[in-house]
Each structure stands twice: as structure tokens, then as C-alpha cells.
Chain A
């Protein structure tokens, strides 16, 4: 059963002239990593803001846990890391987490135990009493994640979670998201870093001009139908290979003995394998050809 349901949702500005979100419908299943992709102005942030009740929809319905999004009780069960969040600079992480914990109506006793755990979880141990104004962008981002985890959320909304973070930090956040997912948390994410999205997302939605262009799994987007990358063992090459190259129209790929095989389907793939084996050519690897999510994304938004 979907944990987030959106039906016919629209948000217009300038008396209807600008449609930030245009008659959008989607559902998010519990325990998935759900990512929104799209160029600037696609409506991703507006959609997250509507779900968090920061912005009011012009028409349509949106619900979380079967409750309308303007019910503030929802916020007891969700966490949110906003894009460019700004915690008061004069506070330290301990004070920030105590303040926002109280804002979440969490018991002081619970907070006392929880704060050290989330601080350790995001790798800010030892920085608890250092003023935030001394923090780097990455450290602020970690603190943002820590604050979003205080109430053990069932859904975590992340708006550009790896923005401004170095590759090591990005990997740590990626691992953290996967760990949360394994713990049953649903992640609703908006990111420009397509390589990150590709690695961790279960479902990806590509938006443009407030509409959904594509929705599916990363594999569905990146897999190329009936194309395979063939890696042959170099010390077992047979003179028959030249003939097979021309008969199967194998295209050379970067790297030694790597070929692109285009088939008409599974039957023809298997026939090719049989031909190669009959010629005593050893196959080291045969993998379905994939394009990167970035290439797919550029193709889709450029249509």
C-alpha cells in the first residue's frame, strides 16, 4: 500500500500563468528510495514543499500515511532535510538538536539519549559543542541529516542531500541512506547528482515543466534492449573469430577483446554464444549493455 499518494496535483503561480506542478499523480511504496529528477524549474522542490505543507496546492490531492498533507500530525513521523537549510549560527549542534527536538515535541529524556546517537551516526562526534558558524558545508549537511533523524522518521524527505559534499562525504551519505532504507525508512529524494541517484534509488521519476516524463526503476531506464557487452579471454582467441566478428557484426569497444553484440532477442543471443563456444572461444563476461542514468536523463529532458 502506498505511503505517499498524489492525485491530480497542480500548483500554479502568477494567476495560473506559471504551472510549477501540472496535474501530477504518483504513489510511493513503503521502504523504497524514491528519487525525483529534472532540470531546474521542473517542479521537484515545489512538489516536496507541497508534501510538507510549506506550499499549498492549487488543486488535486496529496496524502501521507493516508492523512491530508496539511495535517501537522504527519510531521511527527517524517524527517526533512531542506535545500540550503540554515540553522542559527550562534548555536552548536547540541543546542540545534535540542531545539529542533523540542520543536518535534520530543520528550527531553528521549532527546538526551537520542542526540548522541544521531551525532555519532552522521560523524559529528567531537563537534557537539562547536558553534555552527565554524562548520563547513558538508558538516552543516550532516547536522541537517542528524536533525531530520531525531524523531526516527518513517519517511525521510531529502532535498539535494549531497549538495556541496566531497566524494567521501557523498559515499557516507549514500551508505547512510541505504542503511535507513534497510531499517524500513522510505526515502523521498530530490537530487541533481544523477550518479548518486543511480546508485541508491529504487524508483526514479523524471519531471519537466511540472509534469512526469518518465517513471520507473533505474534498470528500466539504463538498460539497452538486446545489446550486450562481450568480453573474451585473450589467450583463447581462435582464428575463427574474424569470421564470427563479421557474421555477428561485433563492434569493437574500448579495452582488449571487448565487443558490442547486438541481437534480435534471446534466441539469437544464445546462437551467438553457441557459435563462439563451437569455435573454442572462451567468454569471460557477457553483460547487458547499459547507458548511464545521466545519458538517459539528458535524452528524455531533451525530447
Chain B
């Protein structure tokens, strides 16, 4: 069963190549990496910085080099967590709905392959495309910054995992909506809504005071405990990069649980679907 599985995975990658989304993603990552390669200049004497310039601007005040590097990497982490995931979802939003189109899904199901295997391979293909791109961006910027500064911040590399897990959770949700609606734009909009409402749900204690009925607080609590906690996961990636104390590691387990449960629901929906 590995051969059909790999065939679907390969075609998913090929499809994103054909749509130029993969190349666009790689190009943006390369531009970011090149910016750091050419725009960041550090003059280091005996392990201490004597001058730092970024994009041609000399930083006048004395900055701790290690702090400067981790903060710069923290900025990339936040950029990746917000913009990177946003773009990744956009790039992969049509993967599931396009598979479900009449004339395409027929060709797959009529092969000696189980439905769960078809969906899993397609879903993994989407994650693989994003994982390759995000890993490429983090690794390349990490190498450039570390080689230039001599500071090898492993926390920045670890931030890759919450970012990928956050994307995986959102992509699983997008797959869920895609399976039900077969509508790429709708699944994308609803997934973006999770990202948008996540910081609000994190602050739900403040919102309770504004609500007239108790039912709304139950609703907010329900959404908070069910949906992946994007705001908390973003904060967690920053903490990993900045080497701050991690107190909310449970959000990772929550996201993994969300992926597992919703992933299984997706398989059941796909298994029972009529085409």
C-alpha cells in the first residue's frame, strides 16, 4: 500500500509546484534569508559586538549581542507564525476541495486504495509542502544569523515544531470544512476566523463582563477548549526562541489532540461520503 500512498504524496507536491505556490513560498523564504545575509552586519571583537548594522542602519545604543540575536530570531518566529501560516493556509486551501471534484475523486476511489489512505496521503502532502518551506526558512536564517553572530540559538530551531503543529491543526480544520463543503474559499475563511478569534478567546475573562447572558460565556468557553489555541501557541514559539520559561506547554498537547480527533472525524466523513 506504500506505492499508492507515495504516488498521491508525490502528485500533491507536483501539483503545488505546477500552481507555482511552492516556488513562490521558496522564493519568499529565500528573499528573507538573503536579506539577513546581506543586510545584517556584525562587527565582533573578542566575542563582544563593537557595532551592529541592520539594513544599513547602525544601532547606536549598546545592545547585548545574544539578546539582539534572539530578539531578531523572535521577530522572524512571529512573522512566520502569523504571515507564514496565513500564506501556507492560502497556498494549501484548494488541495482537498480539488481532490473532491467530480471526475478527479472517481479516478482515485476506483483504484485498489482505501479511502482513508487517499485522504491521509493528500493531507500529509499539504503538510509536507509547508513543512519543507518553513524548515527551509528557519534553517537558512538560523544558519546565516548564527554564522554571522557566533550565537547558536537552538530555541529558534525548536520554534519550528509549534509553528508546524499550529499549521497542522488549522490545515486539519480546513480539511474538515473542505470535506463537508467542497469549497476552498469557504474552508479558508473559516480557518482564518480561528486565527482571528484566538486572541479574543484567550481574553475571554474580560469579555464575560460585557456579555448579557450566561449562555455566551459557555459558548466562548466551549470554543476556547475545543479550538486550537493559536494565540497561546504563537506566544509559546516566541518563548522557545527567547529561552523564556514555558508554562503553557499543554497547548501543544491540546493541538495534537485536536489534530488526532478531527483527523479521525475527517476520515469517517470521507469514508461515508457519496461521490
A residues adjacent to B (C-beta < 8 A): 49, 52-56, 72-76, 78, 80, 82-91, 99-100, 102-105, 147, 157
Contacts and interface: CB of A to CB of B under 8 A. Distances in A.
Nearest to A131: B18
A73 B112 contact: yes
B110 A52 contact: yes
15 contacts: A49-B274, A55-B275, A80-B106, A84-B103, A85-B103, A85-B106, A87-B107, A90-B18, A99-B10, A99-B11, A100-B107, A103-B4, A103-B8, A103-B108, A104-B112
Interface in B220-260: none
Given A56-B272, A102-B3, A103-B4, A86 B104 contact: yes
B109 A52 contact: yes
B102 interface: yes
B7 interface: yes
Contact of B6 (A52, A76, A80, A102): A102
- Provide the main secondary structure of the chain A interface: loop
Given A52-B109, A75-B112, 8 more contacts: A49-B275, A76-B112, A86-B107, A87-B107, A88-B11, A99-B11, A102-B3, A103-B107
Given A80-B106, A86-B104, A104 B111 contact: yes
Contacts of A74: 112
Given A82-B103, A105-B1, A72 B11 contact: no
B102 to A, nearest CB: 7
Nearest to A79: B110
B123 to A, nearest CB: 17
A82 B108 CA distance: 11
Contacts, number: 83
B148 to A, nearest CB: 40
A78 B110 CA distance: 8
Given A82-B106, A84-B103, A105-B112, A99 B275 contact: no
B67 interface: no
Nearest to A50: B274
B107 A82 contact: yes
A103 B2 CA distance: 10
Contact of A103 (B7, B101, B114, B272): B7
A99 B121 CA distance: 14
Contact of B105 (A54, A100, A105, A147): A54
Contacts of A90: 14-15, 18
Contacts of A82: 103, 106-107, 110
Closest 4 CB pairs of A and B: A90-B18, A102-B7, A86-B103, A82-B106
Given A99-B7, A102-B7, A54 B107 contact: no
A112 to B, nearest CB: 14
B270 to A, nearest CB: 12
Given A56-B272, A90-B15, A103 B113 contact: yes
Contact of A56 (B18, B104, B114, B274): B274
Nearest to B274: A55
A91 B17 CA distance: 12
B108 to A, nearest CB: 7
A54 B115 CA distance: 10
Given A103-B7, A105-B4, A85 B274 contact: no
Contacts of B103: 82-86
Contacts of B3: 102, 105
B235 to A, nearest CB: 40
Given A49-B275, A72-B112, A103-B4, A54 B15 contact: no
A103 B99 CA distance: 14
Contacts of A87: 107
Interface in B116-162: none
Interface in B176-201: none
B176 to A, nearest CB: 20
A86 B101 contact: yes
Nearest to A91: B14
A100 B275 contact: no
A80 B112 contact: no
Contacts of B1: 105
B166 to A, nearest CB: 30
A54 B112 contact: no
